[in-house]
Structure formats: C-alpha cells, structure tokens
Amino acid sequence: MSHVPLRDLLAGPDLNQLTVLTASPERLVSSVRVIDKLTDLRSAPRDSFVVVLPTASVQARGHLFDIAMRDATASGVGAIVLNGIDATAVESTAVRIANRNAVSLLLAPVSLEPTRLIVAVSEALAGDAISALARIDAARRLLASAETRTHDRRAAILLAASDALGTRVTARQPAHGEPAAPVLVDGSVDTFIAAEVSDEARGSWIVAARAVTTLTADAYARVIADERRTELAPLADRGRLLGELLLAPDSERVQLVSHARTVGLPVDGWHQVLRFELSSSLDLGATISADQVDAISAAMLHAVRAEIDAKWHSTRIGGEPLLVHSVDADPGPSAARTALAAATTALTAARKRFPGIVVRCGIGAVHRQAEGLRTSATDAKAALAVTRQAKPQRDVVAIDALGLNRMLVEWYASDNTRASVDDLLAPLVELGPAAAEEAIRTLQAYLDHQNSPARAAEVLRVHRQTVHYRLNKITRQLGVDLADPEQRLALQLACRAWLMR
C-alpha cells in the first residue's frame, strides 16, 4: 500500500462523513488496522489508520483512554477513529494528547458501519485507480438514492456528488479547467455540473471528478425533465381542449366552452394566437415528425412561460404548433410587444432544440371569447402565409402590422378563396414550381404597373420583348382577356394571393 496524506483520505467517499476532533492533515497514513480493545493501540503499526470497534470505543473516557492515547503516540499511530460514541464522551485531555503528538482523532457516525469505513480506507491506500473507482461507485450509489427523493431532488443530487468527491459540486458555468459536464434536457444544454478543484487534487481525483460530474449531470437532467413533465401535464390537457375549440363544429362549441371554464381556461377573456410553420433546413419540403413537433411545442411553451409569463398554452393543428396567450383583461397596446417577444423566444427555443429546423411565425390579433380565439387563429394562419411571400422571407409577421395588406391576407385565408385562386391559376401551376412562379410573377408585375410591359420588364430585370413573349403565352394558357377590367382585377388578386402560400 502507498503512503497517503490524511487530508486526501478524509476527502474520499464515506471518509468525508467523519467528525474531526483533532487532525494533522499532512500526516501520512500507510495501513489500516481494526481493534476491539484499547490496549491493542500499543501494538498498532506506525502510520496506521486505526478503526476502533464500538465495543472498545465505549471505553474511550477518563484516564484509561489517556493512557491508550499515550500508547498510540508511542507506537506512531497516524489516526484513530472511534465508532458509536458522541464527541462529548471524549475527554479533552485525550484530545490534547493527540493534538500534541500529531495523531488525528476522529469520530464515525452511527450510520457508517465499521466495515464500510475499513473498505474505504483500504481502497484509498491501494492506489490511484482503485481510489477513483471507489469515488465513482460511491457517487453512483448516492445519486441513485438522491434521485428517488420526493422533494429537493436537485439539491440532494448536488450534495450526493459533493459527498462522493469531497468538494463542492454545483450547477453553474464551469471555470477554466474544472471537471464539468453539460446538463442536457430535451437535447439542449440547461446548465452545467461543475466540481471545485482544490490545490492538492491528484490525477486520480480529477479522473473520478470527470466521471462523477457526468453521472451527476445525467441525474440532474432527468430530474429537470421530470419536473417539467409534471409542470406541463395540466397544460397539455388544456392545450388539447384549445385545439378542440379551434376545430369543433358550432354544435359542439357550447359544451367545450363550459368544459374550458371548469378546468380554469379564461375562455371568456382575450386571446392571441401565434402559429408556427416548421420545415427542415436541408429539405424545405420535408415533413417534420409528430414526435419532433411535440418536442418543439414543449420547448417553446416552457421558454415563453419562463421568459414572458405563465399565461401561455400550446396546441397544434396538423403539423403546426400554436401558442395561445389568454388573459382575463384587455391587454391593450402591450399585446403586440408581448406577442413579438414570445414569438422571438419561441423561435430561439425551437432552433436550440433542433438546430437544423426552419421555423416561422404568424401572429394573430387580440380577440375576445371563444369566437375571438378562432378569429385570432385565422389571423395567425394568414400572417404565417405572408412570411413565405416576403422577399426575403421573414421569420415573424404580425397581422396587425400588415396595414392595407391585411384585407388581402384575410381574404385569402378563406378556404373558398384559396380554391378559387387554385382553379384560376391551375394551367400555370401545372407547368411546375419554377415555371409557375416565373409566369405568375410576370403577370403580377404587368398588372401592378398599369399594364405596362416596359415597367414590368424593369421590375423583373428582363427585356421588354421577354415580357411580351411571356404574357402572350400566359394569356393563351389561362384563356383570359387582359383588356377586360374584371378579369384583370381577379388575376391581380389571384397572383398576389398565390404568392402568399
């Protein structure tokens, strides 16, 4: 066995539970001995760590123990651990003898069995690798116990790791060079677990600390995720109810509104809906899985409730998540600022959760009562369409900020309108995505500039003859007369609406 400073021993698993009556931290310890009689101290090896069993520890009082301490100092004992007695039972004279002769006098708690104490000392003395493994095993055992607690689980986990490493372990940004591990919750870093490093830390401790901080971070993450699930469970039920309110036919709405009041949703108050569109940055046409949508919805809801306020709920329609802000009183002009802040927060949370995601948001206006909830959702859907039409595309569009364009957006939000637009422009759409967009943008530029091929060519940055050629082809394909004012108006609206999709 190696010679280990007492300081290092007392920082190890289990041994950090010992009460120090007096200690010489730099004193080297080279072996462990167990005795069941105080008289055996006179024959204990030099620099030994002596564990006194409870049957002998109860005799550690009065002048007899003073004699035993003098025997121990004569033998060169390094440390003595008494088991099963209180500190008040140890005479001050014995403490002074130990202190004067650089012998450490320690007390073990009743909960720490002598066998565990002996094993802990033996492992620490056996070498660096075994010492590191002992710390890691102790951390695993202590963390498992802390994780099953019913309250203060985060604090219990940090305390367990601190006990295993013999140093302070906290949830924070680590300093340079500290053993640390990220706490990954739902795929994103929530915080870090970091262990303070003492000046005397050895290589084996650093190895153990790196493993223990990783184990601790995993346990800490599980607790945070469990807490969030518990917190969001009632919100999930309310979110499903909101989804039903948005989609249910009129005949079912009265019953749903009554149920919403029962579960505490302020359905009679003011509502504002944020609707999100998700796609992959690698393939804009790729479908985002239902599990991904759920994970993103949860991340966005947690973020806005934490950073904005707790009056948000989430639901989804198809593959598009919705965030709904419901309040009892009219929010007034502040609603626009709150909604924009929430949209920005939600987009950040979604991109943090899935870095490869493209996400855009449409913000509806504030409306009152259950019917207003639907109206705000329709607004949000229309505003979301504008994010795609904008050049360059915009991440967030609020319906209230569209000015005169709002009328066109709301008109196009109608299912009947979209069907009419699709029918009118179908011959161009059948040309394929790229050709269809070129034709429809050419037609829109011509109609928007008072039927001037020259102005349209300038906007499109093509030759005027190119515009003439395209228009002749477009009118043949659509079978329309651009000299007819009614047909021109219908086509102009249809082109603008189609480019919103």
pLDDT band at 495 (very low <50, low <70, confident <90, very high): confident
CA distance linking residue 350 with residue 189, whole number of Å: 13
Average pLDDT over residues 172-179: 89
Closest CA to 310 of 320, 302, 318, 322: 302
Phi/psi for 449 (5° steps) reads -115, 45
CA 433 vs CA 59, 173, 211, 332, 439: distances in Å: 94, 49, 54, 42, 10
Pairing of strands 28-29, 4-5: antiparallel
CA distance linking residue 224 with residue 190, whole number of Å: 9
Helix axes 464-478, 433-448, angle to 10 degrees: 110
| Sole residue written with tokens 């987009």 | 347
- pLDDT more than 90, % of the chain: 42
**CATH number at 266-412:** 3.30.70.270
CA distance linking residue 501 with residue 498, whole number of Å: 6
Average pLDDT over residues 237-260: 85
Q: What is the pLDDT of residues 37-61, one digit of tens each?
A: 999 999 899 999 999 999 899 888 8
Closest CA to 425 of 444, 409, 445, 449: 444
Q: Are 79 and 27 in contact (CB under 8 A)?
A: yes
Domain boundaries, the chain: 4-125, 128-226, 266-412, 415-498
What's the confidence (pLDDT) of residue 412? 62
> Residue 310 burial by CB count (10 A; 0-12/13-18/19+): exposed, middle or buried?
exposed
What's the confidence (pLDDT) of residue 391? 62
Q: What is the pLDDT of residues 467-493, one digit of tens each?
A: 999 999 999 999 988 888 888 888 888
Identify the residue with better confidence: 41 or 500. Answer: 41
CATH of the domain spanning 4-125, picked from 3.40.1390.20, 3.40.50.620, 3.90.1530.10, 2.40.30.10? 3.40.1390.20
Tell me the pTM: 0.52
CA distance linking residue 128 with residue 124, whole number of Å: 7
CA distance linking residue 115 with residue 94, whole number of Å: 25
Chain centre to alpha carbon of residue 181: 14
Q: What is the pLDDT of residues 340-396, one digit of tens each?
A: 999 999 999 999 888 888 999 999 999 999 899 998 998 898 888 877 766 667 899
Mean pLDDT, the chain, whole residue set? 87
What's the confidence (pLDDT) of residue 419? 81
CA distance linking residue 259 with residue 15, whole number of Å: 58
Q: What is the pLDDT of residues 265-287, one digit of tens each?
A: 888 999 999 999 998 765 555 67
What's the confidence (pLDDT) of residue 263? 80
pLDDT band at 218 (very low <50, low <70, confident <90, very high): very high
Lowest-pLDDT range of 44-48, 190-194, 323-327, 387-391: 387-391
Q: What is the pLDDT of residues 12-42, one digit of tens each?
A: 778 888 999 998 888 888 888 999 899 999 9
Could you give the 3-state DSSP secondary structure of residue 20? strand
Q: Do the domains at 4-125 and 266-412 have one common CATH topology? A: no
What's the confidence (pLDDT) of residue 390? 62
What's the confidence (pLDDT) of residue 129? 64
Q: What is the pLDDT of residues 113-168, one digit of tens each?
A: 898 888 888 877 776 666 777 788 889 999 999 999 888 999 999 999 999 888 89
What's the confidence (pLDDT) of residue 349? 92
- Is the confidence at residue 335, as pLDDT, over 70? yes
